[in-house]
Amino acid sequence: MSHPTPPAPQIIVLDAGGQYCHLIARKVREFHIYAEVRGCETPARQLQDARGMIISGGPSSVYEAGSPHVDPAIFELHTPALGICYGQQLMAHQLGGEVERGDKGEYGLAFFEIETPQQLLKGVHGRQQVWMSHRDVVRRAPPGFQILGRTATCAIAAMGDPERNLYAVQFHPEVAHTHPGKKILENFLFDICGCVRDWDPSRRIPIVEEQIRKASAGRKVFFFVSGGVDSTVAYTLCLRALDPDHVHGAYVDTGLMREGETEFVRDNFAKLGAKNIRVVGARQEFLAPLAAVTDPEQKREIIGEQFVAVQEGILQSGHYLDADWILGQGTIYPDTIESGGAAKADKIKTHHNRVEGIQRLIEAGRIVEPLSSFYKDEVRQIGRQLAIPEEMLERHPFPGPGLAIRCLCEQTAGAVRRTEEGFLLPVHSVGVQGDSRTYRPALALERMPDDEHLATELINRIQGVNRVVAAVGSHTPLGGMRSSPAFLSEARLDRLRHADAIVRSLSHESGFEASVWQFPVVLIPVGDAARSDSLVLRPVDSVDGMTARAVRMDSDLLDRMTRDLLAIEGVCAVFYDLTHKPPATIEWE
């Protein structure tokens, strides 16, 4: 049987280390145009056959030694080029403009105003919402460039030299929350680059199945399934590509799962026709080494290594370590990108699929990851083509490390500190600002603000925080709270499991779950003497997890949810996370 092969890329995305680099290529492919990602320093002679180039964002500063650059000769090819974020700064820097550190950062929502309409901005009118993630700015455009638009913080938010077909924007047109982003990319791809439609996403399944067969090379595949969309679709692809009797799986109950999760997984894999799935209890194997750990990176590493240790035991018991077996995983693109998978990328957090033990298996050639080139929305599209039930495909994403990274821990006690803007909580969470990782305290407001953009404005103004939350219910005033030493105990995990079940039930009953992409519930060790923990609600809307918008819920639903959560023993307060991604990650750890 023959299989389709991809055409030569019309668009090449030059990777400068940005967290959204592969998202750019995927957005191009949504226009049915084949795109590939290559290193930013790829020689110009290897790019001359492309119809266009896009230079991605990145975590570096162009004026620092060792920062990513592009071959200067690409600007002499007369091939259209679009710089995005760091790509704009790089274009300015290498072509004679000036780039310097801005007066303050710009992370998340901003508003773009056109100054000079050009072909890149055809059909874009008025004041437009865009998505920013930068601290450096282009202070002076290079010779030949016109300033196309600005934001309140960034005087050169877009620039262009139509004579040379060189364009750049400081914002991210590839993310869903840049409202004119699709139109800007469409203008660049079709009007400026002259691309033609040559890519049909429906052809991906045969390609992936062939990749599975090549990777397995006649060996059988063993999966550790989670019940989430990714591992379910990956497992089903392997069932199709290989003899179903050669695809086995195990669900590991880590003790870090949601209420009723094990039963859900068992029932739904049976519906898919999987004959070789078994449930393995391993609560103590995970909880014991995590008992005294508070550092989020260490948590992820321990969980990843325990997965390897547990899987080795399972593989040995079933003779799966023999040469005719390999390991399958549902790893998708954001997992590898946020872990610093790209050569120039900054590590935001370590995913459990990318810790050292898993890397050893990859290096040994004993792994197949059918979905490692896809994003969540594409995985769901593939799942629908495979006729996987919607109840599985539309599940909200759940992190591989489970509730462990939603149950924050602390070694020492600390007081909540009043500031001019609000209250600094004595706990830290992970953020992503300017394509780099941050680990900073959260700022708490005493009440839900009317201004939906206040969180972004506060984080851009206050360098020491990366997340803003609002108190929506409490047994104790914010000023009277403090953090206390807390660890991953059974009691705290059960408290979080109970809270998560309440939130999921009410979200489903009210229909709110349909308006969000994911709804993490986070337990933080902040409270009073009688109630040592508080809860944070984190409903977000996203397409693929690379960016996300904080979503507010109806006040009546929020009041009911808050009342039920405050009734849980040991819960002092309920907070609502108002922060987009960036500057905060979706998960707190």
Under DSSP, is residue 583 helix (H, G, I), strand (E, B) or coil? Answer: coil
Which amino acid is it at 192?
I
Q: Confirm if 409 and 294 have CB atoms less than 8 A apart.
A: yes
Backbone angles phi, psi at 474, to 5 degrees: -160, 150
Active site residues: 85, 172, 174
Which one, of 417, 476, 422, 480, lies nearest residue 446 by Cα? 422
> Rounded to an integer, what distance in angstroms lies between the CA atom of residue 126 and that of residue 136?
25
Q: Are 141 and 159 in contact (CB under 8 A)?
A: yes
| Residue in 183, 61, 170, 206 with CA at minimum distance from that of residue 119 | 183
Query: Residue 205 contacts by C-beta under 8 Å, 6 or more apart in sequence?
Result: 237, 240, 382, 385, 386
* Backbone torsions φ then ψ of 146, nearest 5 degrees: -105, 145
Q: Which helix (H) or strand (E) holds 298?
A: helix 296-317
Q: Which two tokens stand for residue 138?
A: 């282009």
What residues pair up with 216 in beta bridges, in sequence order? none
Two domains, one topology: 11-192 and 407-577: no
11-192 CATH fold: Rossmann fold (3.40.50)
3-state secondary structure of 534: strand
CA distance 182 to 142: 26
Q: What are the sequence ranges of the domains in the chain? A: 11-192, 201-401, 407-577
- Contacts for 323 with CB less than 8 Å, ≥ 6 apart: 219
pLDDT along the chain (589 residues), means of 10: 60 89 89 91 95 94 92 96 97 96 81 93 94 90 97 94 97 92 98 92 82 92 89 93 92 94 88 86 95 93 88 79 86 60 52 55 82 80 90 85 95 95 95 81 96 90 93 97 96 98 97 95 97 98 84 97 98 97 91
Q: Which CATH superfamily is domain 201-401 in?
A: HUPs (3.40.50.620)
- Name residue, tokens 């780099």: 436
What is the model's pLDDT at position 395? Answer: 85
How far is 565 from 499, CA to CA, in rounded Å?
6
Answer yes or no: are the C-beta atoms of 476 and 498 closer than 8 Å: no
Residue-level length of the chain: 589
Helix, strand, coil proportions of the chain in percent (round to 5)?
35, 25, 40
Map tokens 């002076």 to a residue: 140
Contact 257, 274 (CB under 8 A): no
Burial status of residue 55 (CB atoms within 10 A of its CB: 0-12, 13-18, 19 or more): buried
- What secondary structure, in 3-state letters, does 39-56 show? ECCCCHHHCCCCCEEEEC
- Written as six digits, the tokens of 448 are 């839900």
- pTM of whole model > 0.85? no
Fold entry, domain 407-577? GMP Synthetase; Chain A, domain 3 (3.30.300)
The pLDDT value given to residue 3: 34
Q: Which of 244, 310, 240, 239 is nearest to 279 (CA)?
A: 310
